[in-house]
Amino acid sequence: MAATPTNPDDISASIAGILNEKHCPEHLQVLKTFTTALRDKDYRDAVDREAFSSLLKVLSRLSDELQASSGSNYSLKLQLTAECFRAQRNSCVQSPRNQCLLRELGFVDVCLRILRFLHTNSKSRDGVFEPLRCGIQSLGNLAVGNQMCKDDIWRLSFPDLIVQLLNVDDEKTVSYTSMVVHTCLDEAKVEELSEPQNIQLALKMMELCRTQPELDWTVLIATQHFLTSSALVENMYAAMSSCERLTLLELISAQLSGEESQNCGVPPNVTCFLASSFQKGCGAVLTLATGSASSDEQVLQEVLTVISLLDVLCEVTSHHAEFLQDQADLLVTTVELLKQVHTIGKASKNIFSSAQNFSSSEEDNTSSDSPVISFKAHLIRLIGNLCYNHTINQNKVRELEGIPVILDNCNIDSNNPFISQWSIFAIRNLLEHNQKNQELVASLEQRGAADYSALRELGFQVEERDGSLLLRPVRKDA
């Protein structure tokens, strides 16, 4: 029987000795000693090829015995397998030499073969999760910083085994699998994910973002990789339910809010797709005017998706308006939708009507539960962003008769917090360096068609100077 070594230099011979003996607890101690020794960098760098070759032979023997379910001591074999994986995991820490050595010896193939077996038996066998977790961790360490290992792991496990492991009912298994995916992903592999036969892996990752947000790896995968590919975003979006789309849009919003103003964080082609999706689906919001649609969960989810799309577009154009300013249809759609919402809200008392209900009482302040809180304000915000330093868009809003509507929203509205401020912002962007728009506003004032009292109450005044109309702050001593 192989004796437990006390000197790390004797470990190689002890591991080789395991191959000629029936499995016993002493073998587990030999492997644990090797695992512990590999924590030391000097020892790790000095381990010879023969030691790893012996370890692989032990792992291969365990693989055959587990799959054949032969012999006794099944629980011990699982423990031995887990310890082999731990040794493999430790050997790769900050050691490109060992990563390449393990890859050349064939550890990737044997490891994945065992993981497939363990996954298949994860519901019927006790003690499976420990080696399953350790095996996945060993793959992660093998892949870190080593492109050849990444490519091998991906080629041999994508997409079926990865999807299977992500569906295991064990949070650590799912987390470690996500870590391996994040480590292996690159631009080419992300494009593979967008193909119809592979889209399920991307959708599973997005499902985990929604159902297990505490798994940081899945969020990193979505934000650092998925959002860089317009093809993947479009294909995921098409296959998602409205609820799943909301999760995607929440991640995009978080990505935008966390980026510096000079770095959007979402590629222009992705934002163009989101703009197109908003245009196609925005009509769903109007169904809320009757009140009956709000009780339909599917319709309500579609409406919430439209609202989230609008929020994303507002955020994008706040710092990078140029991405969407030349999308003429987007501006037209937004202005026309604003006019419809505004008209519906004034025609009768409904969800789009303005309100001045600022009571702190929960009983009185029911408007806070409305799904369209701030919707009209954000439409105006988007219009203002799209018109910033853009004469063509300024003119288009005038031609669409959108300026009087925006002016009519310079009043405080508890259903649309900050709508007066966004209206003033939009008017400023519409009037800047645009003589015709200035003349239009001046004519509205002269005919009494525009009420500027709200502007004055908010500290602004419309002033005509040298034939031009200016929006200026009111002097404090005026």
pLDDT value of position 470: 62
Check pLDDT > 80 for residue 260.
no
pLDDT value of position 365: 39
Q: Report the pLDDT averaged over residues 443-458.
A: 59
Q: Which residue has the tokens 């023969």?
A: 50
Q: Yes or no: say if 168 and 174 are a contact pair by the CB < 8 Å rule.
A: yes
**Angstrom distance (rounded) from CA 192 to CA 157:** 13
pLDDT value of position 478: 47
Check pLDDT > 70 for residue 261.
no
Whether omega before 268 lies within 30 degrees of 0, making that bond cis, reads: no
For residue 4, give Cα distances in angstroms to 11, 29, 31, 57, 451. Answer: 8, 7, 9, 19, 91
Q: Does domain 1-184 have CATH number 1.25.10.10?
A: yes
pLDDT band (50, 70, 90) for residue 264: low
pLDDT value of position 466: 64
**Angstrom distance (rounded) from CA 436 to CA 100:** 70
Q: Report the pLDDT averaged over residues 400-429.
A: 92
Check pLDDT > 80 for residue 429.
yes
Check pLDDT > 70 for residue 36.
yes
Q: Yes or no: say if 383 and 402 are a contact pair by the CB < 8 Å rule.
A: yes
| Token representation of residue 452 | 């500027």
Domain ranges of the chain: 1-184
Check pLDDT > 50 for residue 204.
yes
**Distance from CA of residue 84 to its chain's centroid?**
35
pLDDT value of position 361: 41
pLDDT value of position 443: 80
Q: Report the pLDDT averaged over residues 295-309.
A: 89
